């Protein structure tokens, strides 16, 4: 009996000592957190955090994922409200203005000078860089080269440079029994990505695009007389004729689109490079994909017919209100590790499959869609990826686009709904 008592006492004592030691260790380590709002890379980020800890053993990085379907804004504002803000917050560009009061000014960071042209435009306020550009993404009409070549032989995407040429190709594919395209009826895809092509092809000068949007708000624009807008919708009308979902245009999901493209049941899908992990999962054997622009007319060199929208979509801000100086320092170390450390670059590009917005990072992700975007970037064939629109823009115009896609409303009514939306925006 006595032995038992002694034993248990030893056990308790050793526990206490052990806990104390643990406490001592923790005191030396700086603990920082990263809020990840990019669901498809959450698992890979955990690995990257481990890589980082190998190079910096005194910093531990914890990843906090945002649930599927939860808005990043909601998660981050809740964390702020509970006094528990993450050290690093990965958010969408248009959320930066709301949080920038809490973020550290990063203007004097070394990486500022190495960022690619334009990458910092949307996150610079009063000449202060308030966030770190984390990913470049782009979208367009993805083609499955393997599937196309299986039915029509050699296919050179460069020969397709107008809407009519694309339609001729669609016809040929259809005759050979391959469904040409799937237009996934997703409000975010149609509203935030497809329709905005109409805005950004107005001019190659970003200031004129801003002016166009200002004019939309002021109700000065008659969309029905706008050439690019009409051209864009003509292209959608053409797509509708060859759509896999023609019979029931609103009965599609995101996963279904990736599956149809990857299995070669359709030749084209309107989507961006973020879909790659999904496409690869469905069919890991095919790596022959690329982007075609969304044509806005039949003039080969028309602005928008050679370009695809590419831009910085996710950025990282460092909190300075609820994290200690040491934590902020560690967070800056992490960002520098991504940009300048070999292991960091490797983790960023290869493990997370990200196109980085930095000139000095020479690696390219081993993914055909990213490579295609890279090619467009190197040739300077990019459109602005509009990420600064109001948060209710895509749900509202996306719903209108769905109605148009399903032939519930006419083009006149669509233009009216879009104009009405913009007039309500303050």
Residues in contact with another protein by the rule CB under 8 A? 69, 71, 73-74, 77-78, 80-81, 83, 98-99, 101-102, 185, 187, 247-251, 253, 256, 321, 390-392, 395, 399-400, 402-403, 406, 408
Residue showing tokens 């806990």: 19
Between 283 and 322, CB nearer to another protein: 322
The DSSP result for 248-311, as a single string, is: STT---HHHHHHHHHTTSEEEEEEEGGGHHHHHHH-TT---EEEE----SS-TTSTTTS-EEEE
Between 281 and 375, CB nearer to another protein: 281
Instruction: Measure the CA angle with vertex 312, ends 308 and 317; round to 5°.
Output: 170
Between 10 and 408, CB nearer to another protein: 408
Between 38 and 163, CB nearer to another protein: 38
Instruction: Give bridge partners of residue 103 from the DSSP assignment.
Output: 319
Structure tokens at 6: 């002694």
Between 246 and 371, CB nearer to another protein: 246
Q: Say which DSSP state 111 is in.
A: G
Between 185 and 357, CB nearer to another protein: 185
Between 57 and 391, CB nearer to another protein: 391
Structure tokens at 246: 């023609």
Minimum CB–partner distance for residue 268 and another protein (Å): 21
Output the CA torsion 200→137→277→47 (10° steps). -160
Closest CA to 112 of 332, 263, 286, 321: 332
Between 28 and 101, CB nearer to another protein: 101
Residue showing tokens 């030893």: 10
Minimum CB–partner distance for residue 389 and another protein (Å): 12
Do the beta carbons of residue 365 and residue 354 sit within 8 Å?
A: yes
Between 185 and 293, CB nearer to another protein: 185
Minimum CB–partner distance for residue 38 and another protein (Å): 18
Which contacts qualify for 257-260: CB closer than 8 Å, 24 or more apart?
A: 257/182, 257/184, 258/282, 260/179, 260/182
Between 99 and 276, CB nearer to another protein: 99
Do the beta carbons of residue 96 and residue 126 sit within 8 Å?
A: no
Minimum CB–partner distance for residue 271 and another protein (Å): 18
Please provide residue 380's backbone torsions phi and psi, each rounded to the nearest 5 degrees: 70, 20
Which residues, including other chains, have CB under 8 Å from residue 80's CB and lie 6 or more apart?
Answer: 99, 102, 321, 322
Minimum CB–partner distance for residue 185 and another protein (Å): 7
Give Cα separations from 419 to 14, 219, 326, 396, 423 (angstroms): 72, 7, 49, 11, 6
Helix (H) or strand (E) holding 9: helix 2-28
Do the beta carbons of residue 145 and residue 155 sit within 8 Å?
A: yes
Helix (H) or strand (E) holding 312: strand 308-312
Between 313 and 400, CB nearer to another protein: 400
Structure tokens at 57: 């053993």
Do the beta carbons of residue 138 and residue 274 sit within 8 Å?
A: no
């Amino acid at each position: 009996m006595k032995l038992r008592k002694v034993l248990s006492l030893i056990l308790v004592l050793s526990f206490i000592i052990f806990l104390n030691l643990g406490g001592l260790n923790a005191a030396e380590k700086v603990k920082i957190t990263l809020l990840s709002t990019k669901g498809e890379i959450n698992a890979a980020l955990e690995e990257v955090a481990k890589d980082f800890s190998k190079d910096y053993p005194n910093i531990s990085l914890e990843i906090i994922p945002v649930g599927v379907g939860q808005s990043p804004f909601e998660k981050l504002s809740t964390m702020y409200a509970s006094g528990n803000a993450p050290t690093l917050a990965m958010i969408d560009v248009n959320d930066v203005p709301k949080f920038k009061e809490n973020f550290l000014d990063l203007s004097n960071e070394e990486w500022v000078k190495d960022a690619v042209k334009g990458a910092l435009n949307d996150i610079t306020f009063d000449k202060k860089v308030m966030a770190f550009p984390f990913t470049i993404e782009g979208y367009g009409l993805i083609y499955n080269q393997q599937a196309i070549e299986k039915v029509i032989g050699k296919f050179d995407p460069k020969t397709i440079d107008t809407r009519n040429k694309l339609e001729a190709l669609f016809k040929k594919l259809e005759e050979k029994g391959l469904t040409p395209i799937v237009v996934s009826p997703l409000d975010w895809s149609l509203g935030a990505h497809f329709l905005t092509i109409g805005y950004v092809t107005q001019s190659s000068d970003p200031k004129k695009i801003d002016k166009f949007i200002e004019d939309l708000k002021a109700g000065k624009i008659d969309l029905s007389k706008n050439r690019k807008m009409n051209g864009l919708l003509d292209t959608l009308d053409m797509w509708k004729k060859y759509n896999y979902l023609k019979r029931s245009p609103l009965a599609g999901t995101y996963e279904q689109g990736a599956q149809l493209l990857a299995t070669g049941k359709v030749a084209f899908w309107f989507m961006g490079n973020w879909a790659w992990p999904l496409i690869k999962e469905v069919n890991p054997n095919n790596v022959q994909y690329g982007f075609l622009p969304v044509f806005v007319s039949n003039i080969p060199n028309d602005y928008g017919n050679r370009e695809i929208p590419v831009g910085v979509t996710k950025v990282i801000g460092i909190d300075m209100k609820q994290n200690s100086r040491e934590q902020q320092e560690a967070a800056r170390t992490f960002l520098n590790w991504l940009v300048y450390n070999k292991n960091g670059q490797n983790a960023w590009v290869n493990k997370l499959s990200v196109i980085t917005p930095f000139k000095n990072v020479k690696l390219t992700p081993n993914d055909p869609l990213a490579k295609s975007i890279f090619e467009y970037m190197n040739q300077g064939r990019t459109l602005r990826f509009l990420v600064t629109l109001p948060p209710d823009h895509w749900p509202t115009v996306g719903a209108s686009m769905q109605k148009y896609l399903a032939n519930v409303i006419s083009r006149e009514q669509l233009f009216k709904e879009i104009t009405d939306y913009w007039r309500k925006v303050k």
